[in-house]
């Protein structure tokens, strides 16, 4: 089951964040190895109604942020161009508990984001990931996301360069 996260979920969400940080570290990926995403980021996403959790047997096993509006770091794209000049949703903070990896739960969260895009009459999604996160790259490409170039995050910590993908969601009528 996928549902809106509540502030009561923050402890479980933070535990999943820490577990994901360790998993990425073990894979040699610098993503999530610094302050971001912070506890406050998750809290703000929840308060904005833009954060969702996936539950199985009353346990949070996955999470995703589905954001409306303009993502400032997407305003400039290098070595390419976005596929469409159209309002879009942005997917961030996609993670699955290590024990559930390889069971298509990440795909289910992406499909959920696509349904949200259609339901909000914004059938276009943008997403980014670290250059070295081959797991995310493979997932995005297998789900029809197209690599459009790369973007730079705002100054912070870690590698700021991210691969940028997008997908136009076909609406079945």
Helix (H) or strand (E) holding 92: strand 89-96
- 35 domain residue, yes or no: yes
Does 173 map to a domain? no
Whether the per-residue pLDDT at 69 is higher than 90: the answer is: yes
Do the beta carbons of residue 33 and residue 20 sit within 8 Å?
A: no
Sheet arrangement for strand 146-152:
2-4, 51-56, 59-68, 89-96, 124-130, 161-168, 146-152
- Write out pLDDT tens, residues 90-123: 999 999 999 999 999 999 999 999 999 999 999 9
pLDDT of residue 97: 97
| CATH (domain of 85) | 3.40.630.30
Domain that holds residue 22: 2-168
Q: Does residue 109 belong to any structural domain of this protein?
A: yes
In a domain, 33, yes or no: yes
Q: How many domains, the chain?
A: 1
- Per-residue model confidence (pLDDT) at position 95: 96
Q: Which two tokens stand for residue 52?
A: 């969702």
Residue 101 lies in a domain: yes
pTM equals: 0.93
* Mean pLDDT within 12-20: 96
Q: Does residue 139 fall inside a structural domain?
A: yes
From CA 75, how far away is CA 90, in angstroms rounded? 13
């Amino acid at each position: 089951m996928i549902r809106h996260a509540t502030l009561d979920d923050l402890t479980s969400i933070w535990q999943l964040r820490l577990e994901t940080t360790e998993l990425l570290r073990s894979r040699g990926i610098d993503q999530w190895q610094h302050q971001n995403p912070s506890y406050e980021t998750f809290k703000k996403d929840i308060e904005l109604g833009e954060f969702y959790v996936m539950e199985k047997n009353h346990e949070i096993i996955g999470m995703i942020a589905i954001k409306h509006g303009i993502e400032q770091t997407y305003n400039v794209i290098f070595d390419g161009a976005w596929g469409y000049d159209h309002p879009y949703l942005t997917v961030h903070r996609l993670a699955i508990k290590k024990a559930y990896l390889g069971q298509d739960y990440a795909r289910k969260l992406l499909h959920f984001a696509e349904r949200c895009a259609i339901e909000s009459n914004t059938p276009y999604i943008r997403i980014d990931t670290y250059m070295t996160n081959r797991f995310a790259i493979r997932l995005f490409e297998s789900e029809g996301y197209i690599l459009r170039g790369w973007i730079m995050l705002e100054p912070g910590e870690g590698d700021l360069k991210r691969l940028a993908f997008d997908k136009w969601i076909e609406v079945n009528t």
